[in-house]
Amino acid sequence: MIVHQPRNILHKGDKIVSEPRHAEALWYVGEKTCEIRSERLPHQNETEAHVATSYSLISRGTERLVFQGRVPKSEHARMRAPFQVGEFTFPVKYGYACVGKVTSGPADWLDRPVFCLHSHQTSFVTQTNYLTPVPDTVPVRRAVLAANMETALNALWDGKPSPADQICVVGAGVVGLLTAYLCQKIPGTSVTVVDINPARGGLANRLGCKFALPDNAPEEQDIVFHASASTAGLQTALSAAGKGATVVELSWYGDKPVTVNLGAEFHSQRLTLLSSQVGSIPADRQERWTFKRRLHAAMKLLNDPVLDALLTHEVAFRDLLSSLPALLTEQDDILTPLVRYD
C-alpha cells in the first residue's frame, strides 16, 4: 500500500487521479556548461517512494572532472553513478549524495529522512531498497557526508591502520579529513594531516589531528593515506612513509597523468603503493559485507557534531547554475559545497 501526503489531484469524470509530479535536475551538458532541466517523474508502484530532496552534496573532485569533460573513455562504465542519466562525456545527469524526506510510499517509510546515491534533483521516485534511513542522532544536513564517509571507511579497510600507529594523511579535502578523523579514533594513534593550504590546519585540529605543510611533513610513518589528487601530494606521501610502509592512494586523477620519482626512497624503503576505491569492497570482507551494510555503517559514523565543521559552503538549488563554476574551481577555501532545496 502506498500512503500519500496531501497533494494536488485531478478530476476525470468519476475518477480522482494523482497529478503527475515534476522535478528539476542539474545536467552537465558540455565542457564547463550546465543546465537545469525539468522532467516528469514516473508513477510509483507499491515498493517505491517519492523523496523530496533537502540537501545534496557536490563532490568537488569527481564532479570537477565531469564538468570539465575529463572522464577517461576507459572509465565511462566504472564511473557511472547509481541514478545517472545520459552518458559521458555529455550530456549527463550526475551526482551521488543527497538527503530528503519520503513524502509518499510504503507506510513504514512515510516522513522518514533518507539518504540516496542520487543526482542533484528537487525530488525523485525510487525503490525503497535504494534508500538509507538517516538515524535520529544524525542531522539531515550532516547526512550528506555519508558517501564520503563510506569512501574513508573503505580506505581504512584497505590500509589496515593499527593502534599506536604513526599515520599521515596527505590532502585535506573532505575524504582526506574523514579518513584522518577515523584514524585518530583508533587507540594510541598519532595522525598528521598534510596540506598546502594552512587554513585547513584548524579543521584538522578540530578533528583531533595534527597539521603540517608539505615541507614539514612527518617522516617514518607507519601508514600514509594520499588524497590530494596531485603529483606533488603523492611524492610527499611517499617521502613520509617509513621503511616497509604502505601508501594508500585514494585520489582519482581522471585523464591527468601522474609522474613521481620512484628512484628515491620507493625501492630502498621497500614501500607499497596500494590503490583504494569505494566502487568495490576489499576482498577479505566481501563474504560478509555488502554495499548496503557499508553505507549503513558510514551513516552511523556521522554521529559526531564535530563533523559539521566540514560543511563549509551552501548554495540554493535555484542559484546553482551561477554558482557552480566557482564551486568547482580549485579555490582553497571551498571544502564541501552543499546544495539546499528550499
User: 17: domain CATH number?
Assistant: 3.90.180.10
CA–CA distance, 274 with 291 (Å, rounded to integer): 21
Residues 185, 242 within the same domain: yes
The residues that bridge with 9 in the sheet, in sequence order, are 18
298: in domain: no
Confidence at residue 15, expressed as pLDDT on a 0 to 100 scale: 39
Last residue of a domain, one of 246, 269, 284: 284
303: in domain: no
304: in domain: no
Residues 111, 204 within the same domain: no
302: in domain: no
Residues 154, 57 within the same domain: no
Question: pLDDT truncated to tens, each residue of the chain (342 aa)?
Answer: 565 554 543 333 443 334 558 999 999 999 999 999 999 999 899 999 999 999 999 998 889 999 999 999 988 988 899 999 999 989 999 999 999 999 999 999 999 999 999 999 999 999 999 999 999 999 999 999 999 999 999 999 999 999 999 999 999 999 999 999 999 999 999 999 999 999 999 999 999 999 999 999 999 999 999 999 999 999 999 999 999 999 999 998 877 788 888 887 789 999 999 999 999 999 999 999 999 999 999 999 999 999 999 999 999 999 999 999 989 886 667 899 999 998
- Count Cβ atoms within 10 A of the Cβ of residue 37 and give its class: 0-12 exposed, 13-18 middle, 19 or more buried: middle
Residues 186, 256 within the same domain: yes
Confidence at residue 220, expressed as pLDDT on a 0 to 100 scale: 98
* Domain coverage including residue 273: 148-284
Confidence at residue 11, expressed as pLDDT on a 0 to 100 scale: 36
Confidence at residue 334, expressed as pLDDT on a 0 to 100 scale: 86
Residues 84, 122 within the same domain: yes
Residues 14, 138 within the same domain: yes
Burial 109-146 (b: 16+ CB within 10 A, else e): bbebbbbbbbbbbbbbbbebebbbbbeeebbebbbbbb
Instruction: Provide φ and ψ at 302, rounded to 5°.
Output: -85, 5
Residues 111, 166 within the same domain: no
Residues 112, 41 within the same domain: yes
Confidence at residue 298, expressed as pLDDT on a 0 to 100 scale: 98
Residues 268, 323 within the same domain: no
Confidence at residue 253, expressed as pLDDT on a 0 to 100 scale: 81
CA–CA distance, 137 with 74 (Å, rounded to integer): 41
Residues 161, 219 within the same domain: yes
Note whether 207 and 189 are within 8 A (CB).
no
Confidence at residue 225, expressed as pLDDT on a 0 to 100 scale: 98
Count of the separate structural domains present in the chain = 2
CA–CA distance, 194 with 238 (Å, rounded to integer): 13
279-317 tens-digit pLDDT: 999 999 999 999 999 999 999 999 999 999 999 999 999
Confidence at residue 231, expressed as pLDDT on a 0 to 100 scale: 94
259: in domain: yes
Residues 50, 118 within the same domain: yes
135: in domain: yes
Statement: the pTM of the whole predicted model exceeds 0.95: no
319: in domain: yes
Residues 93, 173 within the same domain: no
CATH of the domain at 236: 3.40.50.720
- The residue length of the chain stands at 342
CA–CA distance, 334 with 232 (Å, rounded to integer): 20
